[in-house]
Amino acid sequence: MKPAETVQKPPQSTNIIWHHATIKREHRQRQNGHASVVLWFTGLSGSGKSTIAHAVEEQLYQMGCRTYVLDGDNVRHGLCGDLGFSTEDRRENIRRIGEMAKLFVDAGLIVLTAFISPFRADRKRVRGILMPGDFLEIYCKCPIEVCEARDVKQLYKRARTGEVPEFTGISSPYEEPLAPDLAIDTAQLSLEQSVNAVMTLLRERGVITSGFQSC
């Protein structure tokens, strides 16, 4: 089942007014020594999203950058612990992550998200709530056979027997990005090569430059 395009709904709360802070994003970026951005890693389970995201964070941390990784499983232990894996719940899961990532960008951080995020409409929706250039979609491209071979959690095996319903790539679709900011062939490239590709992207987009003190 494919989700339909949706329009951002107004908040249900009444009598609320947006408070404009005196300390703004540009102040935090200047203090941090680098720009803020969302690195949105998407791909099948087992494609290397979390592994690459954490390895990139490690390199950025060593450079003095302010970062945080939002990992799919970790988020479902708390913020999205009330959601299942139906199409609607998947959409809500990504909506919440997008809103949280937006807050992290305003805080001046480089936020790395590792979510399957299978539907193009949902990824487009997150891009749409951010400023142009703040959302960098990184597609971890990997054949499903390779992902299954890496499956330490045995999720694919359980999905093929019907034990895990609505599993992306087996009983639920994955819509590949049509024009990602970066595509990484994780079946062919090493972890080091994948990290280098992301770091190159960050430099090309001006997120980390010689003009910043820390990075």
Q: Which residues are catalytic?
A: 117
Cβ burial 147-182 (10 Å sphere, 16+ → b, else e): bbebeeeebbeebeeeebeebbbbebebbebeebbb
| Alpha helix stretches (DSSP H) within 79-152 | 87-106, 120-129, 144-149
**Environment class of 82 (CB within 10 Å of its CB; exposed 0-12, middle 13-18, buried 19+):** exposed
Looking up tokens 């290397």 gives 48
Considering only CA atoms, which of 208, 206, 197 is closest in space to residue 32? 208
Considering only CA atoms, which of 202, 201, 204, 181 is closest in space to residue 127? 181
Look up residue 10 and give its amino acid. P
Q: DSSP strand E in 161-214: where?
A: 182-185
Please state whether beta strands 37-42 and 110-114 pair in parallel, antiparallel, or not at all (unpaired). parallel
Residue 92 backbone dihedrals phi, psi, to 5 degrees: -65, -40
